[in-house]
Amino acid sequence: MKQSDRREHIRTALNAKVKVTHDVLGEGVFSTRDISDGGIFVVIEDSGFTPETGDVVTVQVQGLPVPAPELTMVVVRKSNDGFGLQFAGD
C-alpha cells in the first residue's frame, strides 16, 4: 500500500439516500458517494449539517420497502463536500 493511500477497504460507488442523526445538529437526509466494508462517504453539498471528526451519528438508508436498521457510525474524515463515516464497533 502506498504511504499516501491509507485506505484499508476498497470503495464502491453508491448513490443512496441516508438519514444522518446527530445529538446536537439534529437530522438530515443526504446522498452517499461510496461505501466500503469500513464505512461510507456522505455528501453534504450546501447543508449546514457539519459534524466534527470523532462525533457519533446514527445512519439509516432511506427509500427501502421496509425501514432499514439504524447504524451507529463515527465521523472519521471531513472535506469540503462531505464527511466520511466509519462503522462503529460493538
Among residues 2, 7, 29, the alpha carbon closest in space to that of 86 is found at 7
Q: pLDDT tens digits for 13-44?
A: 989 999 999 999 999 999 999 999 999 999 99
| Domain range 12-87, CATH class | mainly beta
Taking the CA atoms of 82, 32, 52 and 39 in sequence, report the sign of the dihedral they define: negative
pLDDT at 3: 45
Q: In this predicted structure, what is the pLDDT of residue 45? A: 79
Q: What pLDDT is recorded for position 1?
A: 41
Going by C-alpha positions, the residue among 3, 27, 32, 34 that lies closest to residue 17 is 32
Q: How far is CA 70 from the centre of its chain?
A: 12
Domain ranges of the chain: 12-87
Q: Distance (Å, rounded) from C-alpha 45 to C-alpha 81?
A: 5
Q: Which three cell numbers stand for residue 75?
A: 465521523
Q: What is the pLDDT of residue 61?
A: 97
Report the pLDDT value the prediction gives residue 70, as an integer from 0 to 100. 97
pTM of the model: 0.85
